[in-house]
């Protein structure tokens, strides 16, 4: 009987360690390879932001999973601007006079390809939703929807 208890105890400890180790070291989601949770156009997302201009938490609800993590968004639209950087570049959809822009920090692995994009190009980007900032008069920034880990589709 003592032996059985000891074996069960060791199995329990091993299982707990196994679970902890793999949970602790689990990888971030591969945004580029994963299936998109939402597919939509730039104008649809901007319209959503306009509707929720005074209620950004409501906007968040639509683009966050139940556990509070950002959903993977596949978005299509006309590029307004590319902000090229050495390692990661930003793709901007929408323009300031319209109230909101969508700013996507692209993956470093996409950087060379992103730098070839021109204003006016129509592109598909898959990225992770980060959040929304309401227009800020003091900081003179338009409303901004932030996404990250973007890749061209």
Q: Say if residues 99 and 91 touch (Cβ distance below 8 Å).
A: no
Supply the minimum distance, in Å, between the C-beta of residue 8 and other proteins.
Answer: 27
Whole-angstrom Cα distance, residue 133 to residue 114?
A: 24
Tokens, residue 5: 């208890």
Whole-angstrom Cα distance, residue 82 to residue 76?
A: 15
Pick between residue 117 and residue 132 the one whose CB is nearest to other proteins: 132
**Residue ranges binding other proteins (CB under 8 A):** 23-29, 56-57, 60, 64, 67-70, 83, 85, 88, 90, 103, 105, 130-133, 136, 138-141, 144, 146, 148
Tokens, residue 79: 């590029």
Supply the minimum distance, in Å, between the C-beta of residue 132 and other proteins.
Answer: 8
Pick between residue 49 and residue 146 the one whose CB is nearest to other proteins: 146
What angle is formed at CA 34 by the lines to CA 18 and CA 126, rounded to 5 degrees? Answer: 140
Supply the minimum distance, in Å, between the C-beta of residue 68 and other proteins.
Answer: 4
CA nearest neighbour of 95 among 43, 18, 40: 43
Pick between residue 5 and residue 138 the one whose CB is nearest to other proteins: 138
Pick between residue 45 and residue 130 the one whose CB is nearest to other proteins: 130
Whole-angstrom Cα distance, residue 40 to residue 18?
A: 40
Supply the minimum distance, in Å, between the C-beta of residue 4 and other proteins.
Answer: 33
């Amino acid at each position: 009987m003592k032996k059985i208890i000891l074996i069960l105890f060791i199995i329990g400890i091993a299982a707990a360690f196994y679970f902890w180790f793999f949970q602790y070291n689990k990888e971030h989601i591969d945004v580029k390879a994963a299936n998109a949770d939402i597919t939509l156009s730039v104008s649809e997302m901007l319209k959503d932001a306009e509707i929720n201009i005074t209620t950004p938490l409501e906007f968040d609800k639509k683009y966050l999973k139940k556990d509070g993590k950002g959903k993977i968004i596949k978005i299509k639209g006309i590029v307004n601007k590319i902000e090229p950087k050495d390692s990661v570049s930003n793709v901007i959809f929408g323009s300031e006079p319209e109230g909101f822009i969508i700013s996507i920090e692209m993956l470093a692995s996409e950087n060379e390809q992103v730098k070839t994009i021109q204003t006016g190009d129509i592109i598909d980007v898959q990225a992770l939703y980060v959040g929304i900032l309401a227009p800020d008069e003091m900081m003179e920034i338009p409303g901004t929807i932030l996404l990250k880990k973007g890749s061209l589709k």
